[in-house]
Structure 1
């Protein structure tokens, strides 16, 4: 016979009020006052478990909720400081709910049908048709500069800096010729660009992607130097490992040993939350044509989600809890989709014209900050497209098509803010799904998987084809 939850949960009046009296005299009330956020709520629940161990009090499977319920039942008899802490917590929780509702409305995160999303999308993003060029413009495998002055700033870095990867050849530099480009998407312009022959989407550009400038200001980046690229680009989330040592693990991007474990957990949560917001904004605004392939990739490979190294309560269906910081307020989002397992964050990043193999059709970027008037433009060379950058701009593109980012008008080697340009992208490694599958199913050891992938791995970048084929 299955007993009801009520019969399993016991909080006798005497022992429960004695518990409350003990709690009032401990620092536990600090966690209770701030328990509108999950971290403090979990912390308080853990302290409750410690204080009720061996007692006749059973708070059931949801101890925090049951504790609050019992406190309401015995409200008149609660210690004064405990009652004040609960009152403060209720006010904070109600305030957060109101802020949450306003953010959901302002950022367009509410549920919408596919038809409604498509209509809204087409209403604000005009469609342009372009043909695929016979010859890439800008030139394949060249660094692009938007002026001779910027070229002069970067020449020594490009020509003299030792190559960290000997498999890559040194790239030449070129100054763009705007008259040769097929189309320039202005910094304040939205656009859907389709191939005039196939009708497929080449790229999508959405300006003012996030309607709340305080939220955009919160989206910071943490980065590392990346090979022959300018600026910084760092992998965040879960990684398939390096070419020499593939493995499935949470990326470790902070090299300093001075930081506390709490700081590192907070950093992982902030990174994963930033990408979760990006992912949910994409899902709320983009039609299935731009997301279906990625959804299929995630589902068919049963990939985990970016969950701050197992601290966001991720479920098997990819849901969990993330937060947004809006000014001084921190707003939680529970039971929401978490981001795909891997992404990149970058600052002052540029790359010569190239293409990549990726396990799904589109990649997605969000330029969150920009403090320069030149450089950092995004090119899709197969169709002669230049996308002028501005802060708070979203771009979706096909990595298999030749693309790149122009040199920024900033000093080479700048490693501290304010950055000329920064942002984040959702991309995937060709190795990620296979590594996850073997790791998840326990078919072979991590060491065996590492050797297998190292033996068969291809970079998937700049493989010598012309990059214009379908």
Structure 2
């Protein structure tokens, strides 16, 4: 007698997407990935504290755009914007082609340096849904990197404000002063959690164990919440083929996530909660010669951007992303959707409502979120135009959208966790 095959959508998706691979399956997958030993450079390249232009045209465009344009926050770098350098590819040790998956190890210590996995998600429908969801998150959240090109916004938990640090949900850009807005915000959080949940469990199945284990070790050590979005529930929901599918028994993602579009930053380092950052590029331009290349300057590695790529690296290593070329023209480009307060009004489905959560979590998180929204909503509208990524003031805009999500283990979240345990 043939064994019956389950038709439950969650079980079918777990198998198709590879959400709970065994160690043997992970090892078999990684066995086919190229491994490169590479030496750490004596001096990082591209050099520290400079933007890098992918092309001379990009340098000219951004230099003209930033000419005599003051930084919005004069406290940042004393109001002095980093200079722009042209990229000299001859000084790089390794350029990762768009089609190549690769694992880098330090030639001397043999420690893992970076992992790049191409064609990561085995389902184009899931990837397409994530692209649209990233855009929705970008419309509804504050831009956390206002001095850099592109947008980078938080979802999930953040550490709150500097004067009142506490773990709370990322604040929206509008005041949640109606039931419709509250439902819209809750639905967006549910969708964002589902996206992070699928991505995290695919990463757990495929990335070397030492990367994902460091996240879990830190979460346990500092008693941090996972990305449960303030609900008394360990499940997450994602829409597959137009149907909401709820996943039970999988691991909730780390507490904090970031959604980005066309984001570029100068060469820098970071001190995070643990020693890894993982990112998923859901969409990228086909032509890597126009900029937008991520690089690890400590090792002279540059990664050509490619759709459906997962990467992992050490934030204490010097890294950054090169500037894109801009397209020219005064007209507004199609695809830069207008922000509306009720953009995500879909109601609440398949999950507990806010009122059904535990009282302690809801009161604490809802209160702090409302307080922060009162102060952030006005400033958010001043910082952004009405578009996901607007044309620049001279009528230009970024040439191609690179959309992705990142899951850092924030040092601020860790510090709040330490404070909470005392």
1:342-363: CA deviations, max 9, x gaps?
Answer: 1211111000000001121110
Q: Does 1:378 align with 2:294?
A: yes
**C-alpha displacement of 1:432:** 1.2
TM-score, reference length from structure 1: 0.67
- Could you tell me which residue of structure 2 aligns to residue 180 of structure 1? 91
- Could you tell me which residue of structure 1 aligns to residue 352 of structure 2? none
| In structure 2, distance between residues paired with 1:437 and 1:344 | 22
The 1:110–1:129 alpha-carbon spacing in structure 2 relative to 1, beyond 3 Å, is same
| In structure 2, distance between residues paired with 1:337 and 1:160 | 49
- Could you tell me which residue of structure 2 aligns to residue 86 of structure 1? none
- Could you tell me which residue of structure 2 aligns to residue 126 of structure 1? 34
Root-mean-square deviation (Å): 2.5
Alignment equivalent of 2:270, drawn from 346, 350, 356: 356
**C-alpha displacement of 1:292:** 2.2
| In structure 2, distance between residues paired with 1:333 and 1:97 | 14
Alignment equivalent of 1:285, drawn from 181, 190, 206: 206
- Could you tell me which residue of structure 2 aligns to residue 430 of structure 1? 411
| In structure 2, distance between residues paired with 1:250 and 1:436 | 15
1:410-468: CA deviations, max 9, x gaps?
Answer: 469994369611101010221212313444x5x6xxxxxxxxxxxxxxxxxxxxxxxxx
The 1:140–1:159 alpha-carbon spacing in structure 2 relative to 1, beyond 3 Å, is farther
Q: Pairwise mapping of residues 146-157 of structure 1 onto structure 2 (< 5 A)?
A: 146-157=54-65
1:134-188: CA deviations, max 9, x gaps?
Answer: 1211111111111111112211344433222423132010111112210000111
From the two aligned structures, give the one with the greater helix fraction: 1
TM-score, reference length from structure 2: 0.75
Alignment equivalent of 1:145, drawn from 53, 61, 68: 53
Structure 2 runs not aligned, ≥5 long? 329-383, 390-398
Asked if structure 2 preserves the Cα contact closer than 8 Å seen for 1:234 and 1:344, the reply is yes
| In structure 2, distance between residues paired with 1:104 and 1:209 | 15
**C-alpha displacement of 1:116:** 3.5
Alignment equivalent of 1:233, drawn from 152, 163, 173: 152
- Could you tell me which residue of structure 1 aligns to residue 372 of structure 2? none
Moved more, 262-271 or 365-374: 365-374
**C-alpha displacement of 1:119:** 3.0
| In structure 2, distance between residues paired with 1:348 and 1:96 | 41
Q: Does 1:325 align with 2:297?
A: no
Structure 1 runs not aligned, ≥5 long? 1-94, 315-319, 444-470
Q: Pairwise mapping of residues 301-312 of structure 1 onto structure 2 (< 5 A)?
A: 301-308=222-229, 310-311=230-231
Asked if structure 1 preserves the Cα contact closer than 8 Å seen for 2:34 and 2:102, the reply is yes
Asked if structure 1 preserves the Cα contact closer than 8 Å seen for 2:215 and 2:409, the reply is no
Asked if structure 2 preserves the Cα contact closer than 8 Å seen for 1:372 and 1:409, the reply is no
- Looking at CA atoms only, which structure, 1 or 2, has the larger radius of gyration? 1
1:170-217: CA deviations, max 9, x gaps?
Answer: 201011111221000011110001110111111000011101010011
Secondary structure of the equivalent of 2:249? strand
Q: Does 1:197 align with 2:111?
A: no
Task: Count how many residue pairs are aligned between Structure 1 and Structure 2.
Answer: 339
Asked if structure 2 preserves the Cα contact closer than 8 Å seen for 1:359 and 1:429, the reply is yes
1:320-358: CA deviations, max 9, x gaps?
Answer: 111222232322211321111112111110000000011
The 1:360–1:379 alpha-carbon spacing in structure 2 relative to 1, beyond 3 Å, is same
| In structure 2, distance between residues paired with 1:377 and 1:121 | 24
The 1:150–1:365 alpha-carbon spacing in structure 2 relative to 1, beyond 3 Å, is same
1:231-278: CA deviations, max 9, x gaps?
Answer: 110121111124344222111133366862111110011111111111
Asked if structure 2 preserves the Cα contact closer than 8 Å seen for 1:410 and 1:420, the reply is no
Alignment equivalent of 1:136, drawn from 39, 44, 66: 44
- Could you tell me which residue of structure 2 aligns to residue 66 of structure 1? none
| In structure 1, distance between residues paired with 2:196 and 2:326 | 27
Q: Pairwise mapping of residues 215-234 of structure 1 onto structure 2 (< 5 A)?
A: 215-219=126-130, 220-221=133-134, 222-223=137-138, 224-225=142-143, 226-234=145-153
Asked if structure 1 preserves the Cα contact closer than 8 Å seen for 2:286 and 2:306, the reply is no
Q: Does 1:368 align with 2:277?
A: no
